[in-house]
Amino acid sequence: MIDPEAFREAAGSFYLQWALLGLGLSLGSFVTLRLIKQAALVDGGLRTDFWRLADLCTPGLALVQAIWSLGGFFSQAGYGIETRVPWAVFFDGAPRHPLFIYHFALNLALFFFLLHFGKKEKMPGAVFLRYFIWYFGGRYWTEGVVAEPLFWWRFKAGQLISLILLHGGLILLWQRRRRHKKAEGGERGCVT
């Protein structure tokens, strides 16, 4: 037998989650387009390199993810292991880590950090790579409180993936910094 009240609640949370995604995509797109326009990349043709465009899109992506993560609360999909922290939420009759709040806070903080950092950064790709590093650093921690079994040694599968991607981002940022400093040094050396 289908409980009409339970069906209404489930459908409502489903539509609310998708509405939050739509809102996040709209706001993220607005921010991204504003950043592209401010960077004067919309003058006849969007001719720029991948890294510069990624830098401009990244704050909007963080905002989309922040808003979308709130959908986890309404669909009751964003909770972790049982805990005694004061901000725990009750799911399945037990106080649990509110992963949706952690992801919301992580991405919202990243959004504001990247907007501020992006104004000062001169190296193309640095904003995107910093997002990548900080996001997967945060994900490593949140995956530690996800209610799933250990995958290998003391790690869950999401933690291992986050560690690999975090270190990949660090290596790529280090390589890009070296190339950028070399290019700047080469340009300075040629100026008379």
Does the structure show a pLDDT above 50 at 4?
Answer: no
pLDDT tens track for 97-114: 888 889 899 999 999 999
Euclidean distance between CA atoms 182 and 192, whole angstroms? 18
pLDDT tens track for 21-76: 677 777 777 777 777 777 665 555 555 577 888 888 899 889 988 888 887 776 76
Residue 59 exposure: Cα atoms within 13 Å on the Cβ side: 21
Confidence at residue 186, expressed as pLDDT on a 0 to 100 scale: 59
Does the structure show a pLDDT above 60 at 178?
Answer: yes
Q: Which neighbouring-strand residues pair with 146?
A: 80
Euclidean distance between CA atoms 114 and 130, whole angstroms? 8
| pTM over 0.75, yes/no | no
| From 14-23, 123-132, 173-182, the region with the lowest mean pLDDT | 14-23
Provide the residue range defining the domain that includes 68. Answer: 4-190
Q: Give me the number of domains the chain comprises.
A: 1
- Residue 128 banded pLDDT, cuts 50, 70, 90: very high
Quote helix, strand, coil % in the chain, to nearest 5.
70, 5, 25
The DSSP call for residue 125 is T
Distances (CA, A) of 179 to 30, 66, 126, 140, 173: 32, 33, 12, 29, 10
